[in-house]
Amino acid sequence: MRLGYLTHVTGDDPARAYRETVELAVHAEELGYDSFWVAQHHDGHLGGRLASPLVLLAAAAERTRLIRLGTAAVALPLEDPRRLAEDAAALDALSGGRLELGIGVGADPTASQRFGRRHDDRRADTLATLDVLLELLPTALAEQRTWWATASSSDAAADRGLGLLSGKPAVDGSGGVPDLARYWTYARGVPRVALSRPLPAGHSTGRIIDDLLADAALPWAGEVVVQAQPATATADVHREVMERTARYVRPFLGVAGPAHPPPVPQADDEPDDDVPLLRPRPVLRTAR
């Protein structure tokens, strides 16, 4: 099971927030994290200071050697696909093929307005932009390291062979399993699932471990991307959460993701009788 870390890049001083985020990427690599992700927020939405994640990740790429660098996620309806493809390709080359390009529909109606877009049209705009983007990206990046970030439907990811960065909360007991089952069943190419999971302030290490191991979505994932909560946590809090997770939580997550998906779609998601469920149930491997 791979482990990643996500930050929303917050703080009163953007310059300081950017410098601290680069240092967090370096520290994550030192602790053995597999990936480091930054969120995009326009105009300080939700306290986030980073509108241009690829620029910041370029700085992180110069300070790191191995860790994969991800966007979680670029609001695709607000982007020009050719401009984004050019910037992503440049960063991917600069980093030695370490970019993980997470894209999504965007959740900020104010940003849509300021970019001259209709927020209600964001899903259709995302799909139209995505199809152009995938044609322009380098093949390896488009086919192996582009992710659909979502807390709801995964159909777009399955149809286009994208990885799924799922933020569907586990608190309802399902952890988004019906949608993950649908994704695993219909995904074009090799399914890739990363779970985005918050680590709330005040929760003990034991509770965090118990909650993660009880997460119904965990057997479906090859990576867990954790983030300190609240999202506006200071750099010191991020470092503490990073260190505690790497040292004490990661061993309980096991050494591998699912061998195969467990196709258990709900009744309203049942495929046609002539469409086989392609893969058997996976086994979650926990550390001994």
Does residue 281 lie in a domain region?
no
* Parent domain of 127: 2-269
Does residue 279 lie in a domain region?
no
Does residue 89 lie in a domain region?
yes
d(CA 75, CA 133): 13
Q: How many domains does the chain have?
A: 1
Q: pLDDT (tens digit, 9 = 90+) per residue, 171-223?
A: 555 668 989 999 999 999 999 999 999 998 789 999 999 999 999 999 999 99
Does residue 100 lie in a domain region?
yes
Does residue 118 lie in a domain region?
yes
Does residue 278 lie in a domain region?
no
- Predicted confidence (pLDDT) at residue 59 exceeds the cutoff of 70: yes
pLDDT at 282: 39
Alpha carbon distances (Å) from 88 to 201, 245, 258: 34, 29, 29
d(CA 153, CA 160): 13
Q: What is the mean pLDDT of the chain?
A: 87
Domain at 129, CATH number: 3.20.20.30
Residue entry with tokens 């690599």:
29
d(CA 102, CA 161): 13
Does residue 285 lie in a domain region?
no
pLDDT at 201: 79
Which candidate, 173, 176, 195, 178, places its Cα nearest to that of 258?
A: 195
Residue entry with tokens 């302030």:
201
pLDDT at 152: 72
pLDDT at 170: 64
Does residue 210 lie in a domain region?
yes
| pTM as predicted | 0.88
Tokens of 61: 């790429």
pLDDT at 44: 73
Contact 238, 7 (CB under 8 A): yes
Q: pLDDT (tens digit, 9 = 90+) per residue, 106-165?
A: 988 999 899 999 999 999 999 999 999 999 999 999 999 999 998 777 999 999 999 999
> Which helix (H) or strand (E) is 87 found in, with range?
helix 81-94
